[in-house]
Amino acid sequence: MNVIPTSLPGVLLLEPRVFPDARGFFLESYNRQAFAKAGISCEFVQDNHSRSCRHTLRGMHYQLPPRAQDKLVRVLAGEIYDVAVDLRPDSPTFGRWEGFHLSADNFRMLFIPKGFAHGFCVLSESADLFYKCSDLYAPELQGGFRWDDPAVGITWPVTTPLLSDRDRQHPPF
């Protein structure tokens, strides 16, 4: 597995080894030992799968302590623009964001540690995301901020996304 550090400490772009042949391909999407070697030693306790249509934007979401979540995001079908924002007040990159193209074709995965908000926008006709979480979902500890907050300044590849009511009502950063 190729581990690519990002400008946000702890956020890692991961490229698994892919073994293609005439029948299709094989890849190892998670191996606890290989991930620990890459510095990812959390225990994943929940898997989620979401499907969204083109121009859907989900975010910016996070879960507060004591149930904050590390996430490992992978696209099974389609393509997304995936964004992480540093929420750690003592971090030198507090409030900074970075975006990544993840697709079923490039096989890339994104590890987003606790202390970051996460959001994505669908670039293809539809996209299926599979993501592992290090803690269980706790609705009472969910948080979020506006996807288009100028204080953060995320450059999204869409200007009029499809949003949930919840995402439409998020407060500023």
Q: What amino acid positions are annotated as catalytic residues? A: 61, 131
79 forms beta bridges with 103
Tell me if 95 sits within 8 A of 85, measured CB to CB: yes
Residue-by-residue DSSP string for 82-118: EEEEE--TTSTTTT-EEEEEEETTT--EEEE-TTEEE
